[in-house]
Amino acid sequence: MMQGTQVNPNLSTGQVHGQMNHGGHEVFDVHEVLSGTIGTLNLYMLLRQHVKDPELRDMMDRHYQFILDEYNLTCECFKTGQKPSKRTESYMMKQDNQFTYGLKASQPKKPWQSPSEISDEFIAGSLLGAAKSAASMKTIAALESTNPVVRRVLAASVPNCIEMAYEISLYQNKHQYYQVPLLAQQDMQQMLNMYAPAQGQPQWTQAGMVR
């Protein structure tokens, strides 16, 4: 040990096992993730009874079960600090990848006057918002996680949130709940051609770093 170096006895420089294998930022952010996931599950449960379209109801049921399984998996590894009893899985959506582009005239949206105005359009939009929020929260929590298992479980969940959000947006687009605007062709071409791949190697790699 270098002369004059002091060691704080309250700090551990080795591996910490079990439940203490988490940093403070990680604990706070994972709490946000788990709390938000409970909110999402409760939202699905509350809205399901108002769904009219069987396709939307089927999608909600598949999402709910997948989110619930991921919640249990995250709870397990967060509580134990160890590898969970099940492997993480990838969500597979049923929608195709075909978007309809362009805007059509529609009635302006405005706040409800009565709870009876709840609709499949509103429900789908609420689910999309929940999926986007989950993707952001899990990304932040994964970046703050010191526990390698928790980090991996959270990171593996982010693409699933993105996939569910994409599936919901495709459903919205098919039913004209969500329209995708287009740029003018000239503007679109200009944007597409605004960047080019890098050519060759940087000069410092050619010259070499070793002297």
Q: Where are the domains of the chain?
A: 18-97+118-184
Whether the per-residue pLDDT at 11 is higher than 60: the answer is no
**DSSP code for 95:** S
Establish how many alpha carbons lie within 13 A of residue 156's alpha carbon, considering only the half-sphere containing its beta carbon.
17
Q: What average pLDDT does this structure show over 21-41?
A: 90
Rounded-to-integer distance, Cα 84 and Cα 157, Å = 14
Q: What average pLDDT does this structure show over 130-155?
A: 94
Instruction: For domain 18-97+118-184, give the CATH number.
Output: 1.20.1260.10
Rounded-to-integer distance, Cα 131 and Cα 69, Å = 15
Query: Cβ(119)–Cβ(109) under 8 Å?
Result: no
Query: Cβ(33)–Cβ(145) under 8 Å?
Result: no
Q: What pLDDT does 207 receive?
A: 57
For residue 165, give every residue at least 6 positions away whose Cβ sits within 8 Å of its Cβ, in sequence order, or none.
Answer: 128, 131, 132, 135
Q: How many CB atoms lie within 10 A of CB 52?
A: 10
Whether the per-residue pLDDT at 1 is higher than 70: the answer is no
Q: What average pLDDT does this structure show over 107-129?
A: 94
Rounded-to-integer distance, Cα 171 and Cα 181, Å = 16
Rounded-to-integer distance, Cα 196 and Cα 184, Å = 21
pLDDT digits (tens, 9 = 90+) for 186-195: 999 999 999 9
Percent of the chain with pLDDT over 70: 87
